[in-house]
Amino acid sequence: MQDQILAFKMQLKPGHVAEYKKRHDELWPELAAALREAGIHDYSIFLDEQTLSLFAVLKRRPGAEASFDALPQQPVMRRWWDHMAELMEVEPGNQPRQWPLRPMFHFA
Protein backbone atom coordinates (compact mmCIF):
# COMPACT_ATOMS: atom_id res chain seq x y z
CA MET A 1 0.00 0.00 0.00
CA GLN A 2 1.17 3.49 -0.81
CA ASP A 3 1.02 6.64 1.27
CA GLN A 4 -1.96 8.84 0.67
CA ILE A 5 -1.04 12.37 -0.40
CA LEU A 6 -3.44 15.10 0.67
CA ALA A 7 -3.22 18.74 -0.41
CA PHE A 8 -5.31 21.72 0.61
CA LYS A 9 -5.29 25.49 0.71
CA MET A 10 -5.74 27.78 3.74
CA GLN A 11 -5.82 31.55 4.00
CA LEU A 12 -3.52 33.70 6.12
CA LYS A 13 -4.72 37.11 7.33
CA PRO A 14 -2.70 40.19 6.28
CA GLY A 15 0.16 41.19 8.56
CA HIS A 16 0.69 37.74 10.09
CA VAL A 17 3.29 36.07 7.87
CA ALA A 18 6.18 36.36 10.34
CA GLU A 19 4.11 35.22 13.32
CA TYR A 20 2.66 32.25 11.39
CA LYS A 21 6.20 31.15 10.46
CA LYS A 22 7.46 31.67 14.02
CA ARG A 23 4.69 29.58 15.56
CA HIS A 24 5.32 26.72 13.15
CA ASP A 25 9.07 26.93 13.72
CA GLU A 26 8.23 26.42 17.41
CA LEU A 27 5.75 23.57 16.84
CA TRP A 28 4.71 22.01 20.12
CA PRO A 29 6.26 18.56 20.66
CA GLU A 30 2.89 17.15 21.77
CA LEU A 31 1.30 18.35 18.51
CA ALA A 32 4.11 16.79 16.48
CA ALA A 33 3.49 13.52 18.35
CA ALA A 34 -0.26 13.69 17.62
CA LEU A 35 0.42 14.27 13.91
CA ARG A 36 2.77 11.27 13.83
CA GLU A 37 0.21 9.12 15.67
CA ALA A 38 -2.32 10.14 12.98
CA GLY A 39 -0.03 8.63 10.35
CA ILE A 40 1.36 11.92 9.05
CA HIS A 41 5.06 11.60 8.28
CA ASP A 42 5.71 14.34 5.73
CA TYR A 43 3.88 17.68 5.94
CA SER A 44 4.80 20.94 4.21
CA ILE A 45 3.05 24.30 4.02
CA PHE A 46 3.93 26.84 1.33
CA LEU A 47 3.00 30.54 1.19
CA ASP A 48 1.93 32.51 -1.89
CA GLU A 49 3.13 35.94 -0.75
CA GLN A 50 0.94 37.81 -3.23
CA THR A 51 -2.36 36.30 -2.09
CA LEU A 52 -1.38 35.06 1.41
CA SER A 53 -2.73 31.66 0.43
CA LEU A 54 -1.15 28.74 2.26
CA PHE A 55 -0.76 25.50 0.32
CA ALA A 56 -0.35 22.35 2.41
CA VAL A 57 0.76 18.91 1.28
CA LEU A 58 0.97 15.94 3.61
CA LYS A 59 1.64 12.25 3.36
CA ARG A 60 -0.33 9.80 5.47
CA ARG A 61 0.69 6.22 6.05
CA PRO A 62 -1.68 3.49 4.84
CA GLY A 63 -4.09 2.23 7.48
CA ALA A 64 -4.05 5.47 9.50
CA GLU A 65 -7.45 6.72 8.38
CA ALA A 66 -9.17 6.29 11.76
CA SER A 67 -6.47 8.06 13.78
CA PHE A 68 -6.22 10.77 11.11
CA ASP A 69 -9.99 11.33 11.15
CA ALA A 70 -9.90 11.58 14.97
CA LEU A 71 -7.20 14.28 14.94
CA PRO A 72 -9.69 17.22 15.06
CA GLN A 73 -11.02 15.89 18.38
CA GLN A 74 -7.57 15.73 19.99
CA PRO A 75 -7.20 18.37 22.76
CA VAL A 76 -3.75 19.38 21.51
CA MET A 77 -5.16 19.97 18.00
CA ARG A 78 -7.94 22.14 19.44
CA ARG A 79 -5.42 24.17 21.47
CA TRP A 80 -3.28 24.66 18.34
CA TRP A 81 -6.27 25.88 16.34
CA ASP A 82 -7.13 28.34 19.11
CA HIS A 83 -3.49 29.46 19.15
CA MET A 84 -3.52 30.05 15.38
CA ALA A 85 -7.06 31.45 14.92
CA GLU A 86 -6.08 35.11 15.04
CA LEU A 87 -3.65 34.60 12.15
CA MET A 88 -5.83 32.88 9.58
CA GLU A 89 -9.36 32.37 8.31
CA VAL A 90 -11.12 29.80 10.47
CA GLU A 91 -14.39 27.92 10.76
CA PRO A 92 -16.53 27.94 13.91
CA GLY A 93 -14.47 26.14 16.54
CA ASN A 94 -11.28 27.71 15.10
CA GLN A 95 -10.47 24.92 12.66
CA PRO A 96 -8.62 26.56 9.75
CA ARG A 97 -10.77 26.99 6.65
CA GLN A 98 -9.50 24.45 4.15
CA TRP A 99 -10.11 24.08 0.47
CA PRO A 100 -9.10 20.67 -0.91
CA LEU A 101 -6.83 20.69 -3.95
CA ARG A 102 -7.38 18.18 -6.74
CA PRO A 103 -4.31 16.30 -7.95
CA MET A 104 -3.40 17.27 -11.52
CA PHE A 105 0.14 15.98 -11.99
CA HIS A 106 2.67 13.92 -10.05
CA PHE A 107 6.22 13.08 -11.08
CA ALA A 108 8.04 10.39 -9.14
Task: Supply the residues annotated as catalytic.
Answer: 24
Q: What is the largest CA-CA distance in the chain?
A: 42
**CB hemisphere CA count around 28 (13 angstroms):** 13
Q: What is the CA radius of gyration of the chain?
A: 14
Residue 59 three-state SS: strand
Q: How far is CA 102 from the centre of its chain?
A: 16
Helices 75-84 and 17-25 pack at an angle, to 10 degrees, of 150
